[in-house]
Amino acid sequence: MNRDEIYRHQGMGGTSGIGQRCGLILVDFVNGFVDIDQLGGPHIEAAANATVPLLAAFRAKGLPVAHTRVVFEADGSNFNVFALRVKPLQKLTETAQGSQIVPQLQPVAGEWVVRKQTASAFFNTGLADWLHLKGVDTAIIVGCTTSGCVRASVVDSMQHNFRTVVISDCVGDRAIEPHDANLFDMQQKYADVMTRDEFLAQLK
């Protein structure tokens, strides 16, 4: 059997669908992850640009929006194993240019900016509680990188019992191979994967 046949044979690739209220999570759309000379990839900026209409739709409907940034202390006092393994992360301090959210996706009043030191937007951040408080049952996840912080956030979202949707053209990675492989795997086990326009048609 080929790959797709194996997954179908084992009953993978189901759907959790979209529930009653969506919340948008923009994972690490910061300058450093758009810049290929820092931590970025060639199509992450395209993913950020594709997210602009999606963010506008959430704002127009008054739906909850959260942004995440990786932020470490400038003196290194909260460096963890993640920062030791991926040393460029140590430069992402509160005021560093690389840690600032990209201009086209700047937060507005009422949108929470989550500062994190791990891959997942949910780990030790209180994001799940915030979404529950807002009445969210479906987490819509965009950002970067697909194989790293997006994937970790998707797995944790599902583990917090949120229906989870990944917007395929609004996530990006350093290379296309891990991007494609992780979109396939997330669709099989953890999340519904759809394009921005497919999702917006259902949001209406």
Which residues pair with residue 68 across a beta bridge? 27, 114
The radius of gyration of the chain's CA atoms, rounded to the nearest angstrom, is 16
The whole-model pTM stands at 0.94
Residue 85 lies in a domain: no
103: three-class secondary structure by DSSP: helix
Residue 32 lies in a domain: yes
Residue 29 lies in a domain: yes
pLDDT in tens, 51-76: 999 999 999 999 999 999 999 999 98
Instruction: Considering only residues 150 and 4, tell me which one the structure prediction assigns the higher pLDDT.
Output: 150
pLDDT, residue 6, reads 76
Asked if 170 is an active-site residue, the reply is no
Residue 60 lies in a domain: yes
Residue 77 lies in a domain: no
The phi-psi region of residue 180 (left if phi > 0; otherwise alpha if psi is between -120 and 50; otherwise beta) is: alpha
Going by the DSSP 8-state scheme, the letter that residue 12 receives in this structure is: -
Residue 76 lies in a domain: no
Q: Choose among 172, 126, 162: nearest CA to 21.
A: 162
DSSP secondary structure, 16-58, as one string: ----S-EEEEEE--BHHHH-TTTT--TTHHHHHHHHHHHHHHH
Rounded CA separation 103/31 (Å): 9
Residue 199 lies in a domain: yes
pLDDT in tens, 146-195: 999 999 999 999 999 999 999 999 999 999 999 999 999 999 999 999 99
Q: Pairing relation of β-strands 65-70 and 112-116?
A: parallel
Rounded CA separation 152/120 (Å): 5
What's the distance, CA 163 to chain centroid?
14
Q: What angle do helix axes 44-61 and 196-203 make, rounded to 10 degrees?
A: 10
167: three-class secondary structure by DSSP: strand
61: three-class secondary structure by DSSP: helix
The total number of structural domains in the chain stands at 1
Residue 6 lies in a domain: no
User: Domain of 34: which CATH number?
Assistant: 3.40.50.850
User: Which domain does 166 fall in, by range?
Assistant: 17-70+101-203
Active-site entry in 22, 144, 149, 170: 149
Per the CB < 8 A criterion, the answer to whether 190 and 155 are in contact is yes
Q: What angle do helix axes 151-159 and 176-189 make, rounded to 10 degrees?
A: 10
